[in-house]
Structure 1
């Protein structure tokens, strides 16, 4: 099959389809093999486009991706943000359109700078740099990355080496090389085969147990979000979590309540936490998500402990429009969604010490933080166990909690650590260092999950280096495709 020209309109249609295909690679669909297909559809005929057409193709891909894969934003705005359907649809559409611009800008810049020379390498590198851009710009949104799908694929063994962006790069290279193979460039099969077969030769374990397993109980209160921040919600939350704690077996080492389990500040919850501590077995600990406030009037989304626990963690990476309101001066009071009864959070400092509970050093990531691979890797360096608490009630019955859970599994695999995940209504689970779920609760049930997690020691290559090596490699690959700016010399007759 030789390289042929085809109408840009067909490429735009394929871009929309490709975006939807990436959504299908993620949970709950988990069709990871569609990732290279999606990249191949974007790569096909790309260098026939002008930079403006490339940007449009990237934008349409983003529309397909976020329109299908981040539809849970509508649930948060409409169902729990007290916003009418027309306005919720508008705000969700605005979100999708804005997120699609990240892809548009990345591919516009790529087409502006790069030509067809070694395009199968430079296009893959540019793709990962686009994901990197989306990870940090304007606080970042590394949701639906190509690599997220591969926690269960044959590529999974690359995760402890290069993390999620290495998985994205290999997926993108598989897509571009697949197109080259269809163009009868048969050599393209060799590097694809090498990338997919190499995991069979890679180590299966980079870390090892540090001590005996912990007996852990993760509590899922399943409290309705509509009443949570009311007086009734306070009473229901207190009664639910105290009762679940009281009914636990006596051999539990660590009890975990989810993010903001008690809808009140820590100083208000002290009597309840004292009652909970009295219910613990000697030597055991309880960690809970809770709001804190200080003498300067600042508020923090935190994890604190009682019993055999030391230290605290204050969430460092906050969620815009969820934990603080950008442009608050202009937006506050315009619609109900911007007036939810939650105080504006202050980010915790970087470099916080890990919590020690039940004799184990624990690295924390609250809710949204678990999707940031490098942030979690920094937590894992000095930790034996990773803990994430979340309130996924905001997702409703959408696919959001399942996507969130998939990323938590990838963090366990990247760092060779158990991840224990306590959520308000699911998915509450214990994940082993290979990313396998060893125990979980059904969603939307009030229950306690009792299981074991092993404190681990040793560091994976990814924990040591983070994503920087893959980002640099991606930049190098993109540089290989830069246009030759040297003008050709006229031939002498």
Structure 2
């Protein structure tokens, strides 16, 4: 165990950053497992206070590297000076690092100095930390170790246990391997063999589980297209550039009429439904004539049951034979709304980003309907919420998500976002149509594999087919609750008991 802080702190930061290599665009899924093994070798059996520091530095490494794309949004598009943007990005990573810091403090309190108890509790503490991070303060459901397994051997478990379940298996594997290592050359001789066998078991079962077809094709495939306008983020909300943007999308769309579905990305129309009424009417007429449903993103403005005055929603609207409008429910803090708005709005330019005044849409919205099938869409960040997507995927034929990842430039963000979307397809056993402004626009099959994709950072059109599916995966039926309950039970029965004072 490394005790020298001059060595230990950089080592912890590096071990945390190692997990970033597990995700896109690196796809080195063993890096997540290796990182967890190194964490256990370095941290098992320590007291709560030093574990708080350990967890914080690990988190700083993970989020400082894995979420570094935040800097692009703040600096380049938030019009914030580079030094201030760097400080804000660092503060963001430092804040997120509090999640593993607090989790590790709890780990130390629950396990004490007992090595076996520490190893037993680690998978439970780790997955509960991820789960809390996914919903507290609207959540940051990003950089879960299980997500990397959409490209790894544990992929078969995703439709059964979801991303948190796959993360749990990864963390449990690390704990069992460390347990086997610690029992090497010690009695009983069979212990390291048993621990190693237990660690390998879920990895060997995963390919067999992957053979199960949880969902089945329903009806004929839909001919679809996704239009990628590649509009510069600097031009997107410029009123003088509105006509040009509409022209680009209409020209790219013209050869596509006659398909079942055409998808434009998030806020492809940077104008409300009222401001763009003439354009929408023209598209409506063209869509009905061609028998094609067009789905476009736009900022919707009007009365909403949840609010006393008219509000903006980040929305998707169907044009043509299809039916439905969807208002985004899970908003991005500071990007789509400003927490403590009355205090923070206007303090720096970043807090005045275009359309940072959205309000969340109502719950239990109806799916978008297309002939004999339907989809409950996810706008941008919403696709990262596993239980949200799984719950809404019931009774629908395929997944649809739109985004504008131009906010992240040529960083890790668009690749990670796309990998997360692919995990949702795998969890629900449904094919996915993803439309973006500048990539990654793609069609993903029900096993999370990319069937076809548009050229990234270019103006392009993606054409293909989507096969509607029917059926329910185990994860869709239960959500993450079995894994979260298991983690809680492990903590209840595995925690250190405090001695009662009988005096």
TM-score scaled by length of structure 1: 0.95
- Structure 1, 441-450 or 334-343: larger mean CA deviation: 334-343
> Following superposition of structure 1 onto structure 2, how do residues 335-374 of structure 1 map, counting pairs within 5 Å?
335-374=348-387
**Cα deviation code 1:196-234 (max 9, x no counterpart):** 101122143210111111000000000000011112331
2:349 is equivalent to residue 329 of structure 1: no
Distance 1:334 1:488, change over 3 A: closer
Match of 1:196 among 193, 199, 203: 203
CA distance in 1, matches of 2:84, 2:224: 43
CA distance in 2, matches of 1:113, 1:8: 25
Match of 2:86 among 74, 86, 89: 89
**Residue 141 of structure 1 corresponds to which residue in structure 2?**
140
**Residue 177 of structure 1 corresponds to which residue in structure 2?**
176
SS in structure 1 of the partner of residue 494 of structure 2: coil
SS in structure 2 of the partner of residue 268 of structure 1: coil
CA distance in 2, matches of 1:235, 1:386: 31
CA distance in 2, matches of 1:333, 1:275: 38
SS in structure 2 of the partner of residue 378 of structure 1: helix
2:151 is equivalent to residue 155 of structure 1: no
Kindly state the Cα deviation for residue 297 of structure 1 after the two structures are TM-superposed: 2.0
Match of 1:56 among 53, 76, 85: 53
8 Å CA contact 2:375, 2:400 repeated in 1: yes
Match of 2:280 among 263, 273, 279: 273
**Residue 107 of structure 1 corresponds to which residue in structure 2?**
104
* RMSD of aligned Cα (Å): 1.7
- Structure 1, 357-366 or 428-437: larger mean CA deviation: 357-366
Kindly state the Cα deviation for residue 478 of structure 1 after the two structures are TM-superposed: 2.4
8 Å CA contact 2:264, 2:296 repeated in 1: yes
2:95 is equivalent to residue 71 of structure 1: no
8 Å CA contact 2:44, 2:119 repeated in 1: no
Match of 1:430 among 443, 453, 456: 443
Kindly state the Cα deviation for residue 246 of structure 1 after the two structures are TM-superposed: 0.8
- Structure 1, 19-28 or 472-481: larger mean CA deviation: 472-481
**Cα deviation code 1:430-458 (max 9, x no counterpart):** 01100011110111111110000100000
2:438 is equivalent to residue 442 of structure 1: no
**Residue 3 of structure 2 corresponds to which residue in structure 1?**
7
Kindly state the Cα deviation for residue 488 of structure 1 after the two structures are TM-superposed: 10
2:456 is equivalent to residue 460 of structure 1: no
8 Å CA contact 1:154, 1:199 repeated in 2: yes
8 Å CA contact 1:285, 1:358 repeated in 2: no
CA distance in 1, matches of 2:491, 2:243: 57
CA distance in 2, matches of 1:317, 1:382: 21
**Residue 306 of structure 2 corresponds to which residue in structure 1?**
none
**Residue 320 of structure 2 corresponds to which residue in structure 1?**
307
Unaligned 5+ segments in structure 1 are none
**Cα deviation code 1:325-346 (max 9, x no counterpart):** 0111121121111112325111
Match of 2:300 among 288, 292, 305: 292
**Residue 19 of structure 1 corresponds to which residue in structure 2?**
16
CA distance in 2, matches of 1:200, 1:338: 47
SS in structure 2 of the partner of residue 305 of structure 1: strand
8 Å CA contact 2:117, 2:495 repeated in 1: no
SS in structure 2 of the partner of residue 44 of structure 1: helix
8 Å CA contact 2:296, 2:317 repeated in 1: yes
Kindly state the Cα deviation for residue 40 of structure 1 after the two structures are TM-superposed: 1.3
Distance 1:120 1:480, change over 3 A: farther
Kindly state the Cα deviation for residue 353 of structure 1 after the two structures are TM-superposed: 1.0
SS in structure 1 of the partner of residue 465 of structure 2: strand
Kindly state the Cα deviation for residue 195 of structure 1 after the two structures are TM-superposed: 1.1
CA distance in 2, matches of 1:396, 1:13: 29
**Cα deviation code 1:396-449 (max 9, x no counterpart):** 000100000000000000000011100000000001100011110111111110
**Cα deviation code 1:245-268 (max 9, x no counterpart):** 112263x10000000001100111
8 Å CA contact 1:261, 1:424 repeated in 2: yes
**Residue 291 of structure 2 corresponds to which residue in structure 1?**
283
How many residues are aligned here?
485
2:41 is equivalent to residue 44 of structure 1: yes
CA distance in 2, matches of 1:172, 1:437: 27
Distance 1:358 1:236, change over 3 A: farther
**Cα deviation code 1:60-90 (max 9, x no counterpart):** 0111001111110000000100000111011
**Residue 256 of structure 2 corresponds to which residue in structure 1?**
248
8 Å CA contact 1:420, 1:430 repeated in 2: yes
Kindly state the Cα deviation for residue 388 of structure 1 after the two structures are TM-superposed: 0.3
8 Å CA contact 2:266, 2:437 repeated in 1: yes
**Cα deviation code 1:155-178 (max 9, x no counterpart):** 000000000001100110111111
CA distance in 1, matches of 2:395, 2:52: 42
Kindly state the Cα deviation for residue 489 of structure 1 after the two structures are TM-superposed: 9.7
8 Å CA contact 2:257, 2:292 repeated in 1: no
8 Å CA contact 1:135, 1:142 repeated in 2: yes
